[in-house]
Amino acid sequence: MDAVGAFNAMLLNISNEFKDDNLRDLKFLCNDIPKKHKEGIKSGVELFQYLTQVDKLGPNKTEFLHSLLSRIHRSDLADKLNELPTYATRDIPDEQGRREQEKVQIAVDVIVDNLGKDWRKYGRRLGLNDAALEQIQVKHPFNLGEQVMEVITVWKKMHKGDVKADELIKALRVCKLNYTADQVEKEMENKGF
């Protein structure tokens, strides 16, 4: 099955698992959809087709739908989006892509070593919802390093691997975790970035 076929099969599966109010709630959250279009959407599949047409959804563009599903407390369905493999040229990074991956790895290593108890605040800044943070807490109850690593892993999945070290640093600064942000930048400089 090609990328589009696998993606559409997954969307059909998600639509089939909707509960009564899920479609209504999703349509309500989609402010970009004109009212006349919203009224005509009677199934999850029709909503997904519309989001695809307006370029908010695709095999390598699931962040918007992931966010919507999380906001209606269907993280079980949002997680299905994370299981879909990414397709296209992102799988074979060019030189610039490889350098960015190295920078991200440096940032991750420093953040895991330094973040500590502020991992929930940082996770929220990266876009994780409270349900996801609670799952991480339950999964790694006594290991701060693993909690931080899991936050970043989930964040990477939300962005399908298209991540930048600068985004990790910016989130640290917004959370007033400047010492850790400085350590990341210092380590990058030491490694020639």
Q: What is the pLDDT of residues 133-163, one digit of tens each?
A: 998 888 888 888 889 988 988 888 887 767 8
pLDDT higher than threshold 50 for residue 87: no
**% pLDDT > 70, the chain:** 91
Tell me, yes or no, whether 67 and 142 share the same domain: no
Mean of the per-residue pLDDT values of the chain = 84
CATH number at residue 165: 1.10.533.10
Tell me, yes or no, whether 34 and 113 share the same domain: no
Which of 64, 83, 102 terminates a domain? The answer is: 83
Q: Is 161 within a domain? A: yes
Q: Is 89 within a domain? A: no
Q: Is 52 within a domain? A: yes
pTM tops 0.75, yes or no: no
Tell me, yes or no, whether 79 and 109 share the same domain: no
Q: Alpha helix locations (H) across 17-143? A: 22-29, 35-40, 44-53, 63-71, 75-83, 95-114, 119-125, 130-139
